[in-house]
């Protein structure tokens, strides 16, 4: 693949812009897998093996990924929208190449796999792989998602059993039933719960606690499938998902 096409596929701009970056000496390529230092390339049409390629663009290290799979530790006060209404968009936390990766459809860049409320924190997946997004979002997959919940009032055993057996979310035009598949009392006091869902209804955790006469004061997603939010990933930070990470999400 030509170097300008590699850069284009990774979101560094149009092919003309990518060719200009190369010709102006802004792109350096690691010519071998374990090369200690990259080499400046000025031929934008140079043919390279894309898979496993590492390079620098304007001094920033990058690696080639045919599809983008990333995890973001979503901070509070952010919206999972390209066009936020009140709070900053989570997409502003990502570098521009991730936001500009070309797509066949009108939408460009990585997209959030589902959404978290503006005040909800924690694990958020993003990708430009439509099949992956659909698979992870589909209610038919029954992918477990774990939330750390801080309740306003202590939940007693009766309320917990109601959440496990299912409560009716009657604030919809057509009331539906929702249930947690596991609830762990994280602090022994009934105020901090670890709640596992296999569904993804709108504001589900908040609506479920409201249905048993309680209220969510804090909400944090810590796990999807067998993949846990990395402990060293600070709020607002992102990283690529590894092959092992993707297996945990399968």
CATH code of the domain containing 203: 3.30.70.1560
Sign of CA pseudo-dihedral 82, 9, 13, 242? positive
Q: CA 65 to CA 112: how far, in whole Å?
A: 18
pLDDT tops 90 at residue 64 = yes
Q: Which of 48, 63, 78 is the last residue of a domain?
A: 63
pLDDT at residue 152, as a whole number: 96
pLDDT at residue 199, as a whole number: 85
Write down the catalytic residue from 117, 119, 129, 185. 117
pTM above 0.85, yes or no: yes
pLDDT at residue 107, as a whole number: 65
pLDDT tops 90 at residue 6 = yes
pLDDT tops 70 at residue 206 = yes
CATH code of the domain containing 134: 3.30.70.580
Q: Are 135 and 150 contained in the same domain? A: no
Taking only the tens place, the pLDDT of each residue in 150-198 is 999 999 999 999 999 999 987 767 788 899 999 999 888 889 999 999 9
Model confidence band, residue 106 (pLDDT cutoffs 50, 70, 90): low
* Average pLDDT estimate for 41-69: 97
Helix, strand or coil for residue 74?
strand
Structural contact between residues 104 and 96, judged by C-beta atoms closer than 8 angstroms: no
* Whole-number percent of the chain with pLDDT over 70: 98
- Mean predicted lDDT score pLDDT of the chain: 94
117 has catalytic annotation: yes
CATH code of the domain containing 12: 3.10.290.10
* Average pLDDT estimate for 16-21: 97
Q: Which of 4-13, 47-56, 127-136 has the lowest mean pLDDT?
A: 127-136
pLDDT at residue 137, as a whole number: 86
Number of domains within the chain: 3
Q: What is the extent of the structural domain holding 7?
A: 3-63
For 11, 171, 199, the CA distances from 176, given in Å and listed in that order, are 42, 9, 12
* Whole-number percent of the chain with pLDDT over 90: 84
């Amino acid at each position: 693949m030509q170097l300008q096409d590699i850069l284009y596929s990774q979101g560094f701009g149009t092919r003309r812009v990518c060719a200009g970056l190369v010709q102006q000496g802004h792109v350096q390529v690691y010519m071998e897998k374990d090369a200690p230092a990259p080499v400046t390339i000025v031929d934008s049409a140079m043919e390279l093996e894309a898979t496993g390629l590492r390079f620098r663009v304007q001094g920033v290290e990058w690696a080639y990924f045919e599809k983008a799979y990333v995890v973001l530790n979503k901070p509070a006060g952010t919206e999972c929208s390209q066009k936020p209404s009140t709070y900053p968009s989570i997409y502003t936390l990502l570098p521009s190449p991730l936001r500009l990766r070309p797509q066949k459809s009108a939408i460009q860049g990585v997209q959030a796999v589902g959404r978290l409320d503006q005040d909800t924190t924690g694990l958020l997946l993003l990708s430009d792989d439509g099949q992956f997004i659909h698979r992870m979002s589909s209610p038919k997959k029954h992918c477990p998602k774990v939330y750390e919940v801080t309740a306003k009032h202590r939940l007693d055993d009766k309320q917990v059993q109601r959440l496990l057996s299912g409560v009716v979310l009657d604030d919809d035009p057509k009331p539906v039933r929702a249930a947690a598949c596991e609830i762990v009392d994280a602090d022994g006091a009934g105020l901090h719960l670890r709640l596992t869902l296999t569904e993804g209804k709108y504001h589900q955790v908040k609506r479920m606690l409201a249905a048993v006469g309680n209220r969510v004061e804090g909400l944090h997603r810590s796990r999807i499938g067998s993949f846990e939010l990395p402990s060293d990933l600070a709020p607002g930070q992102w990283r690529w998902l590894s092959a092992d990470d993707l297996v945990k999400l399968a």
